[in-house]
Amino acid sequence: MTNVLKNALLPNPFKNGITKSMGKFTLYYEPYLLALNHVFTVASGSRSSTPVVLVALAYDGYIGFGEASMPFYLGESHESVLRFLGKVDLSSFSDPFLAEDILNDIDNIAFGNTAAKASLDIALHDLLGKMMGQPWFKIWGYNPENTPNTSFTIGLDEADVVREKVKEAEPYKLLKIKLGLDSDKMMINAIREVTDTPICVDINQGWKNREEALEMAHWLADKGVVFIEQPMPKSQMDDNAWLTENSPIPTIADEAIQRLSDIHLAIGVYSGINIKLMKCTGIREAHKMIELARALDLKVMLGCMTETSCAISAAAQLAPVVDWADLDGNLLISNDIYQGMWLENGKIILPDRPGIGVLPKVN
Amino acid sequence: MTNVLKNALLPNPFKNGITKSMGKFTLYYEPYLLALNHVFTVASGSRSSTPVVLVALAYDGYIGFGEASMPFYLGESHESVLRFLGKVDLSSFSDPFLAEDILNDIDNIAFGNTAAKASLDIALHDLLGKMMGQPWFKIWGYNPENTPNTSFTIGLDEADVVREKVKEAEPYKLLKIKLGLDSDKMMINAIREVTDTPICVDINQGWKNREEALEMAHWLADKGVVFIEQPMPKSQMDDNAWLTENSPIPTIADEAIQRLSDIHLAIGVYSGINIKLMKCTGIREAHKMIELARALDLKVMLGCMTETSCAISAAAQLAPVVDWADLDGNLLISNDIYQGMWLENGKIILPDRPGIGVLPKVN
């Protein structure tokens, strides 16, 4: 692809990026920093940005967009993703429709690097969908009206601030709260003073004792909480299984389940799984995970990282067949370079555009 | 669609058939008798034909072909399929891409009727593939070079005739023999006198005693048999499981597994499953069954009935991701009205045409 075409087709942040020619394919990639609307504070410090790598894959005049998002706690970084993309070589493939072979090849380059792998999976599927002239939710045969409401995360804060945040989150039909501190009951009570919107809670392995966990599960169920994400450490399989068996509300595995090959670990231990593209290497594997989870009677939640509308819209293609979606990553940033899926009163709306349905914003 | 278009697009056997207008869709169907090249003799009698119903589904100028095949022992017939198709109404669907909803709706019309359901699934997928301009093996991302050799069935007969049949089957790289009689060892020995081509055997639940079954499995393995299909009655789960655990070659469930919801019954009982479109309602469910079987480490075999190249080519779209294929149904008939997949030295070759890749033969 010439630079003229590159400049015409690629959004601004790509224009100083890396161009890699690989036979019939051309790969473009560029590190980028997502600016968070609000500084995010956790025990280990504060941060105001999340590193991503923007990716574009061109073939025969078509171009597909992808993205890797690397929140620091997952072990990938600009450097590791650029190093991985530097090793990718698609020149032996004559046809992007050989998607299983191409993505197996990429998966075998190195262990881990799941965000880097996801960026290529997303770009390849965007490309393929455009070549077929259809969005992936249609290619899979899904009804776009069946998308769930996305949950919206309310950060930990003082009771007054929490009540204020909840009022601002009025359009959302499901609130997500990260628990695991002494202030948990205060948080939930503060929310219940101002709204009866259903809540889901993410414990991030924070509970250690199963009897206390069950007691809290009952208390939360009484307060209108609909499920509990990763209640106890993933290593405590017996405790998580016991809690799941006795809990009045479903438990969802997050840290415990990364990829397709992990799903058997959830059987009898959790009620369902949280699937995130950046953990599972992209929408091809996510789609297989959903089919498998369904066949095993496991609930399915779709999650995300802080991402542009690119990765969020890719995940949203699968939203019609999940129980819950937590796809608010693109709402948390001020420098999204794409438009794609959007929300109407909290419900995910899928654009009827080919591939993953994103358009670069004019810039 | 006008009759002019109908006559231009549909093969001859449709021309006196039933036309059913359903909103934006039009369904055409016609009972048809497949003429067998050789009279087929079993204990209960002889037959020289197999009833099928040919189906075509039109939408927006596109047309998709499907087929129901009803060998008498499966309980469907011309009458039952016509009755089922008479109940189908797609007029509430504005878009064929709502495939999950459409096929769930069809599945819920009545219990059973899996061949009738498969005819609609195949026609819908042929239509969708044509709208996307791609064959389904490409839409699924499969490499067409990975198709297996099809097996070719050698009927029970006198040793001299068996040796003659095997010589005629020289292009095939896998021979399939139906066993379960006193003459079993004679059959295998007769074949081994003229060829060392690998063999697979189908017992059709014919073995009743597990110790004898295991002894026979060892004898067969020594003779170059690669797997055993449905060794004992499906109700003898413990015996089949014991045989699978001890057998030197894999066991494959056929009668024991019909649909996606049955696959869990194979875990720990068989080494793999035989998937047939006419049992499982079509390629959408077959695709899900393969994904699930793969995730559960089960082997996968693709089977068929006596069918035209329509249903065979639909099944063949999945051939790149199965271990074994027994897709010889279209080779057994003299009045195929389609051309589609073909064989080169026994290996399945997929045409690079949209949908299921079939063309009506000029007639």
Residues of B in contact with A101 (CB under 8 A): 143
Residues of B in contact with A128 (CB under 8 A): 141
Residues 6+ apart with CB under 8 A from A245: none
pLDDT of residue B160: 87
Which of the residue ranges B44-58, B206-220, B329-343 would you say has the lowest mean pLDDT? B44-58
Residue B1 has pLDDT above 50, yes or no: no
Residues of A in contact with B321 (CB under 8 A): 100
pLDDT of residue A8: 62
Cβ distance of A100 and B143 shorter than 8 Å: yes
pLDDT of residue B44: 61
Cβ distance of A141 and B100 shorter than 8 Å: yes
Cβ distance of A295 and B288 shorter than 8 Å: yes
Determine contact: B295 vs chain A, CB below 8 A.
yes
Position of tokens 């793969």?
Answer: B294
Structure ipTM: 0.91
Neighbours of B359 (CB within 10 A): 14
pLDDT of residue A316: 98
Q: B26 CA to chain A: closest CA distance, Å?
A: 20
| Chain B, nearest residue to A98 by Cα | B141
Determine contact: B100 vs chain A, CB below 8 A.
yes
Neighbours of A91 (CB within 10 A): 11
Residues of A in contact with B99 (CB under 8 A): 141
pLDDT band for position B337 (cuts 50, 70, 90): very high
Mutate to test the interface with B, among A136, A142, A143 (most CBs of B within 10 A): A143
Residue B104 has pLDDT above 70, yes or no: yes
| Chain A, nearest residue to B296 by Cα | A264
pLDDT block averages, 10 residues each, chain A of length 363: 58 83 96 89 75 97 97 91 98 97 98 98 98 98 97 85 88 91 87 95 94 97 97 97 98 96 95 98 97 94 97 98 96 94 96 97 73
What is d(CA A24, CA A225) in angstroms, rounded to the nearest whole number?
51
Q: A132 CA to chain B: closest CA distance, Å?
A: 5
Determine contact: A344 vs chain B, CB below 8 A.
no
A237-246 vs A210-222: helix axis angle to the nearest 10? Answer: 30
| Chain A, nearest residue to B352 by Cα | A97
What is d(CA B67, CA B313) in angstroms, rounded to the nearest whole number?
11
CA distances from A254 to A153, A221, A322, B71, B127 (A): 16, 20, 15, 48, 39
Q: A320 CA to chain B: closest CA distance, Å?
A: 11
pLDDT of residue B320: 98
Helices (H), chain B: 3-9, 78-87, 99-107, 114-132, 136-139, 159-168, 184-194, 210-222, 237-246, 277-280, 283-295, 309-316
| Chain A, nearest residue to B94 by Cα | A143
Determine contact: B145 vs chain A, CB below 8 A.
no
Cβ distance of B295 and A263 shorter than 8 Å: yes
Neighbours of A88 (CB within 10 A): 22
Cβ distance of A134 and B133 shorter than 8 Å: no
Residues of A in contact with B284 (CB under 8 A): 141
Residues 6+ apart with CB under 8 A from B22: B88, B89, B90, B91
DSSP secondary structure of B173-231: SEEEEE--STTHHHHHHHHHHH----EEEE-TT----HHHHHHHHHHHHHTTEEEEES-
Mutate to test the interface with B, among A60, A93, A100 (most CBs of B within 10 A): A100
pTM score of the predicted model: 0.93
Determine contact: A109 vs chain B, CB below 8 A.
no
Q: A261 CA to chain B: closest CA distance, Å?
A: 7
Residues of A in contact with B103 (CB under 8 A): 141
pLDDT band for position B10 (cuts 50, 70, 90): confident
Residues 6+ apart with CB under 8 A from A295: B260, B263, B288, B292
State residue A22 phi and psi, 5-degree precision: -135, 85
Determine contact: A134 vs chain B, CB below 8 A.
yes
Cβ distance of A295 and B142 shorter than 8 Å: no
pLDDT of residue B356: 98
pLDDT of residue A1: 46
Write the residue in B99, B100, B133 that is nearest to A132 by C-beta. B133
| Chain A, nearest residue to B134 by Cα | A132
Write the residue in A133, A260, A284 that is nearest to B295 by C-beta. A260
Q: A296 CA to chain B: closest CA distance, Å?
A: 9
Provide the pairing of β-strand A359-360 with A338-339: antiparallel
Residues 6+ apart with CB under 8 A from A199: A174, A175, A176, A177, A188, A191, A220, A223, A224, A225, A226
Nearest Cα to A327, choosing from A339, A309, A344? A309
Cβ distance of B141 and A98 shorter than 8 Å: yes
Nearest Cα to B148, choosing from B273, B291, B325? B325
Is the separation of the CB atoms in B246 and B214 below 8 Å? yes
Determine contact: B105 vs chain A, CB below 8 A.
no
Determine contact: A265 vs chain B, CB below 8 A.
no
Write the residue in B97, B291, B292 that is nearest to A141 by C-beta. B97
| Chain A, nearest residue to B128 by Cα | A139
Determine contact: A142 vs chain B, CB below 8 A.
yes
